[in-house]
Amino acid sequence: MKFMNGLSEILKSSSYKKFSSIIDANKLNHAYLFCSPDEEYNNYFCKVVALKLICEKFEPCFNCDDCKKFLSNFHPDVLEYPKGPSLLVSDSSSIIENAEIKPMLANYKIFIINNFDKSTQQAQNKLLKTLEESPNNVIFLLNSTNTDNILQTIKSRTQIFKLEPLSMQSVLNFYKSQNIVVSDIALEMGEGWLGKTLNLTSGNFKECYDFVLKLVNEMKNSKVIINFAPIFAKKENFLINLTILQELMEEILYINLGLKENEQIKSAEEFKVEAISEIFDLIDNAKKQFKANVNTNLITDFLLFKILEVKYKWNIKK
């Protein structure tokens, strides 16, 4: 089963081994909040934890009746929420109601709640009492990419567990098991996160990469910026373009430090180490502005002209 082969890669991760030891030591809490910047990985991690908790062999074997039922999305003691894009009050009501029903097959009744940071405040508030006074044998596995959007009262009722990225080999093996081919560039830029790697693999990533590479190589004057900016600012590719720009700047840094070679980047010597440090800050700020729904054209114009300014400032100083 493809899904099973993919999950087996997560069993090798340092995060899973660490959490598994908590279960084996009988120190399991009733509610956890798993955090990483990757929605895809968060969800899969919760699934392997649920598998360990229900497996007849106390470790995901993928062969026992409980494992098979779960992998077929038909295990009565593992319930996944939300039912739509984000957790609503109706979802919370359903969770509260189902939490009162004792496990039918396994030792635990397990609730996986994905993207909890996207929940409405009303839905979060409705779960407070259940999270604080959950029935025996009920385990909550919440996950989030942004804990800032979660009520402090929720966080105080859960154990926060930060996930570490997978090895690049595990990411590669994971997608091989799904018959998905990921490029070397996407694998490197994905930094061990499943969702990020997949996003960089899908769509028109290659075109975006070639475009941003050309921009970096030709960034000589404001006329070039004016020509490139409208394409760079297209909302559907904006975050990918930013990520590629950041990766190329990191590559240039390594080139200038004598740690790497990349014949595709013709302009490496034009970006001094000090300039790259400032550019990293500019890119991070651009990402924050994008998340705050600032117009991508405004972000792009400021970012690219500022990069050009920083580039020449440090060339003059040198």
d(CA 4, CA 296): 40
Q: Which helix (H) or strand (E) holds 138?
A: strand 138-144
Where is mean pLDDT largest: 39-48, 179-188, 193-202? 39-48
pLDDT exceeds 80 at position 3 = no
State the alpha helices, DSSP H only, in the chain.
Answer: 2-10, 14-24, 39-54, 65-71, 89-99, 121-132, 152-155, 168-177, 184-190, 194-201, 205-218, 222-232, 238-256, 273-291, 296-317
d(CA 173, CA 266): 33
HEC secondary structure over 286-312: HHHHHHCCCCHHHHHHHHHHHHHHHHH
d(CA 145, CA 291): 13
pLDDT for res 114: 97
CATH number of 2-164: 3.40.50.300
Domain boundaries, the chain: 2-164, 203-317
| Bridging pattern class, strands 109-113 and 159-162 | unpaired
**DSSP structure class, residue 186:** H
Phi, psi of 227 (to 5 degrees): -75, -35
pLDDT exceeds 60 at position 282 = yes
pLDDT for res 4: 72
239-276 per-position pLDDT tens digit? 889 989 998 999 999 999 999 888 899 999 999 999 99
